Structure 1
């Protein structure tokens, strides 16, 4: 019994035109009008990866996590209900709207809706990106990752780690608590920021080509206030990325070159170098509100010679380069 990947996300917004431009032209997703004030977006051969709907409620509508077999849904439902978490079986009409065969749904301790699903529907037509890109790194690694603001990380940790089997990749305690979790070889598919707030922090999509990230950054810079973090590289998953402000107030990270780990041998550990080796200047923060502190952590990492390992020690990237050299 295991959750294998982040399969899809749902967002509530009354700014559908803005989302059409953001997800289609900036991120390069393929847009579909689902009717009833809803837009859907593809990233690969799946029918749907992102759904944006104009309806009341919190910004994050749901997170969809994939399981390997139908029996996993029953097993997780039984475990959750034993722990006192109410679980509902998704109706046939809901499964059809999610383009999956079966699903269950429930809320985490902060009220975020979680959907576990089995057997997603594949599209009958090729993926056609919204701008010229080489595509997204999805497949068995899933859609990317999702990150939540949390008020009490100690209350949320047992839910995801012990009930849903999310495995801790690493964690940091300064300047604020951060926990990163893996469910497959992607370094993290889920994370929590102990910011004292609640809500959606960001989701990440990983491009197959670094130039697609850079060209997206150029596009984003033409839109006033669109850039939230400048281009930089993270210390834990080695992702080179930038963050954009979405029409709904949270961020989307556009990245490349993320770390792939071996879940069977990985050991969780504390990181002390801060979130980034370099870059990722938080333009949305004030100097007093954390921007100066995070900058000093990057400069300290540089003074200490902290950096990612050579390309040959980055399994995914090394494998990609080896394949292209054949």
Structure 2
């Protein structure tokens, strides 16, 4: 199992009290560099276009990280494909692939926030059709240097060459999904690896959806060992579980309740939080041994996980704690998960 970290370059109100936005991005690149040194497999940077995040241009951040790393894979987490030009985003990640010596990947999705749609003049009513069409074009560009294609949402391509070409052939593209069954089926039909964002609820409840993915892939003629499943979950590691819980809870409840105000969710309480820490809960928070055991159990329940990434940003943790958690994940969790058959 590959092990990594995802970041949204969070820059919440409490973060701004101690550092500037420039310092926050520099420290993120430092964290990616350290993750590479400690032996983590992958680092992902998200994409948001809202206050509180500094990741509106993930390829730029990953490019800075490429110059300071040697082994770690660098990916988006996720690219909001509906809101970008597939030609341009392919060029950006092909360039990243060349800079990094063949370590670039993309996780593409529709996005759980919707601010990109009005920002780029898109209609929210086209949420799914935009993604479907742009994914079709992105995959065609990946497979062909010269592209003939026409669609509804951008001008046609009539044999133009798309450059540069990446070092990897093909450039790895994952589908990022939440809880929509059709998204799991689409990824399976296309035979693309699946990255499942599990940020709440009971992780075992995703088993039927992952089964849909694998069944759709099998029916489409894809080999089972090519239908890889990754999990992206909220998580944090400290020397002891009480320390991890106390570090994570204040920022987590603040962040989730701020989002909840926009989406009409009920406020999250300490009791709700602790329920997520239980045997089936989505939160991976605790000491390294407990978190490792939980990941292994979830891999067994879900039929096998090929990648697991930690998302620590909701807790608004100081840089020192993020770096210590990165060290614990790399030195104590990743080695145990790498041994799994």
Give the number of the structure whose residues are more often helix, by fraction: 2
Higher RCO by CA contacts (8 Å cutoff, separation 6 or greater)? 2
TM-score by length of 1: 0.33
Decide which structure has greater strand share. Answer: 1
Query: So what's the TM-score if we normalise by structure 2?
Result: 0.32
